Amino acid sequence: MTLDTPVAYDPELERLEIELLMEGVYRHYGFDFRSYAYSSLRRRLWKRIRAEGLASVTALQERVLHDPPVMERLLDDLSVNVTAMFRDPAFYLALRTTVIPMLRTYPFLRIWHAGCATGEEVVSMAVLLEEEGLYERTRIYATDINETVLLRARSGIFPLDRMQEYTENYIRAGGTRSFSEYYTAKYDGALFNPALLRNVVYSQHNLVTDRSFSEFHLILCRNVLIYFDKSLQNRVHNLFYESLVNFGILGLGSKEALRFSRFEECYEQVAPPEKLYRKVR
């Protein structure tokens, strides 16, 4: 390489820039994205680079380190995951038909919804437990790294224009009532009955750095680990393993598999092909 000609785009150089940016974000702000899956991280970073009118990762680093509002926007880009009520209806149907009967044996249920984002799947779970008569003895701990999305989750208000899709999902997930019973339409929002969220505790929790905070009968973490690299995935799987009671259930996204982690041997799949696993050793 000669030093007097500009270098064309070089993937290795960009990887170095991204590692430096993530190191800077961690050391200056304390947010640790260093073990996030590279290709998705890179796409999200470029979305922010373009939105700020910049042209390189290094330019973004300069802005992020000197201008906290830019960091705030980047934090949203990197930590907000989109979700839907009864996402993958077959998964919720399997929860209802296979997992709920297992959970009935417990006098009290603790459920951890890790990486709950804006809370759509928390509402789905509450609806399901209510209909199955288990909600009264359940506490759902819904956590996310991002405080802003938790505020939205707590509000119980969801976009009205998604309700048709959610209603279809609900029916295909084995719903037994009319889905519109659960919310009131107001302007462009659907306000869910506050009683539905009476047993939900929302709190900030960082899967990368925080430890377990209780013992759970069911842990749901869907489409969150796909944003982590293999080493971080294994670390979080260890956290889940230690947080589950014996015979507790772990629910993952439909294309997340334990067979590519170190924990395959510790679980058995209870309703294949759905990604519901029971801790057996």
Partner 1 sequence: MSVEIVCAGTSWGGLFALRTLLHGFGDDFPLPVVLVQHRHRDSNALLVDLLQECTALPVSEAEDKEPVTGGRVFVAPPNYHLLVDDGHFALNTDPPLRFSRPSIDVTLDAVAESYGRRAAGLILTGANDDGAEGLRRLADLGGTAVVQDPAESEMPTMPLAALRRVPDAVRLPLERIPGYFRTILKLAPLPGDQRPPAASRRVREPNPEAR
What residue ranges bind partner 1 (CB under 8 A)? Answer: 9, 11, 37-40, 42-44, 81-83, 89, 223, 225-227, 229-230, 233, 253-257, 260-261
Pairing of strands 216-221, 189-192: unpaired
| Of residues 88 and 130, the one with the C-beta less far from partner 1 | 88
Distance of closest approach, residue 11 Cβ to partner 1, in angstroms: 5
| Of residues 54 and 80, the one with the C-beta less far from partner 1 | 80
> Would the CA dihedral through 88, 166, 80, 237 be positive or negative?
negative
| Of residues 132 and 268, the one with the C-beta less far from partner 1 | 268
Q: Which residue has tokens 């300069």?
A: 62
Distance of closest approach, residue 242 Cβ to partner 1, in angstroms: 21
Distance of closest approach, residue 83 Cβ to partner 1, in angstroms: 8
Cα 110 from Cα 116, distance rounded (Å): 15
- Interacting residues of 215 by C-beta distance below 8 A, sequence separation 6+: 110, 243, 244, 245
Distance of closest approach, residue 38 Cβ to partner 1, in angstroms: 5
| Of residues 61 and 223, the one with the C-beta less far from partner 1 | 223
Burial class (CB in 10 A: 0-12, 13-18, 19+), 57: buried
